[in-house]
Amino acid sequence: MRRSLAGVALAVTSMVALSFLIPLGLLVMSLAREQSITAAEQSAAAMAPILALTTDAAELREAGAGLRAAEHMVIHLPDHSTVGGAGHAPPDLLGRAEDERESISRDVPGGWIYLQPVILPQDRVAVVENFVPDDELTRGVALSWSVMAGLALVLLAGSVLVADRLGSAVVTAAKRLAEASRRLGSGNLDTRVQPKGPPELKEAGTAFNTMADRMTDLLAVERELVADLSHRLRTPLTALHLAVERITPSTDTGRIHAAVAELEKELNAIIAEARTPLAVGPLGRVLRGEASPDERRSGTERCEVADVVRRRAAFWAVLADQQERPCHLEITDETTPVCLPESDITAVVDALVGNVFRYSPWGAALEISVSRTAHTVELVVHDAGPGIADPDGALARGGSTGSSGLGLDIARRAALAARGSVRITRGPLGGAHVAVTFRLSTDPAQGGGTRSRRRSRTAGRGA
């Protein structure tokens, strides 16, 4: 492609140069001829007044010596004598000029001749002949043509060089874009290009980067959705696990235990596989704190945190009774609207409470509370278990030891999506104290008033 562009540039430049140089060369040659002819005619005409005064050969030679273009001038006097040497005019042409008394100019072998008749006293006629050789007719033409040819060569070389540079930029940018496309097609989702080259290729490079970003965003969101959905399956799996443990031992008990364990193993494998790439899409920008306010407000679904927590607490209370685990629920009577869908709040509650059931011993107390301030809604889950030794590491996706590490990450991502946060401390019961804060929705339709109401508290086994 690069050679083709250089060849096209050379051909176009050659055509343009020839279209200008040929007429210009002919014009230069014509101007040189005209200048020589004009000088010869002027020299011959200048002799006319001198001849009218004298026909002395010495005086005529002296006068002609001072004229331009007079080195080939010959004066034919009425007595058929000549001044200046042998002439080049044919006798018939000379006789015609003398008889007709008219100026004659004509090309002759070896050059160009001009005959100027001069009428002398007593009706006599003298003829001034001025001859211009061919080399004088073309004087300077060869040099001019050489200069123009040199300029043409420089122009051709420059155009080829410029075309080569432009072609190099185009080819390099195209190759870079093609190579990036191959890498992206082979699975390297981090591939991007630096838009360079002509505007069209820059636009193509920008479009490629946008496409790659969008593709990566979609894949990241899809894989995270698979991981989150798989993690949500742990809630019924936990209930199934507890139900199996209450079954009277029989020949089928071992098989059921093995099936449940295998199901849990498969869920962990799915979560680990789907969680491999970190979030790089809009959700990833939220996690890294790079999301714009528009992206944070992009979700139009809203829900009441208190209502969701109350329903999920009722579900987990049944399992708490089975494990003889005290479960306390404290929920504000104020409205608690947040900019998250109900499914996300459900996933947060199930993830936090499910961790208590999985990682704390039987009988360990559990408390769930929902409170509200002027601008936030806070969900707190704390227990009487062993706690979390490394709270910061537990908040990192996949950082929890001995688990998928996805439960706390689900809470963290939901909190960040609602412009909130997650804090892990040691609670009053001695175990983990996880507080998830959500930004209160400002949508009037959600009834976001700030009036205080009483709180309800339920204590004992079950909520």
pLDDT at 281: 43
243-247: average pLDDT: 70
Helices (H) and strands (E) in the chain, counts: 14, 13
Which token pair is 289? 């704190």
Which tens digit of pLDDT belongs to each residue from 137-186? 888 888 887 887 888 788 777 777 777 777 777 778 888 888 888 888 87
Task: Name the average pLDDT for the chain.
Answer: 77
Whether the pLDDT of residue 400 is over 60: the answer is: no
Backbone φ, ψ for residue 65 (5° rounding): -65, -25
- Whether residue 268 contacts residue 446, with contact meaning beta carbons closer than 8 Å, is answered with no
Which tens digit of pLDDT belongs to each residue from 195-225? 887 788 888 888 988 888 888 877 777 766 6
pLDDT band at 435 (very low <50, low <70, confident <90, very high): very high
Which tens digit of pLDDT belongs to each residue from 327-348? 999 999 999 999 988 888 988 8
pLDDT band at 268 (very low <50, low <70, confident <90, very high): low
Which tens digit of pLDDT belongs to each residue from 218-233? 777 776 666 666 666 7
Question: Is the full-model pTM beyond 0.85?
Answer: no
Which tens digit of pLDDT belongs to each residue from 29-68? 788 888 888 888 888 888 888 887 888 878 877 777 767 6
Which token pair is 62? 């002296």
Q: What burial class does residue 60 get, using C-beta atoms within 10 Å of its C-beta: 0-12 exposed, 13-18 middle, 19+ buried?
A: buried
CA distances 228 to 271, 398, 406, Å, are 8, 13, 8
Q: Is 378 left (phi over 0), alpha (psi -120 to 50) or beta?
A: beta
Percent of the chain with pLDDT over 70: 74
pLDDT at 288: 46
pLDDT band at 8 (very low <50, low <70, confident <90, very high): low
Q: Could you give the domains of the chain? A: 2-141 (3.30.450.160), 213-290 (1.10.287), 299-458 (3.30.565.10)
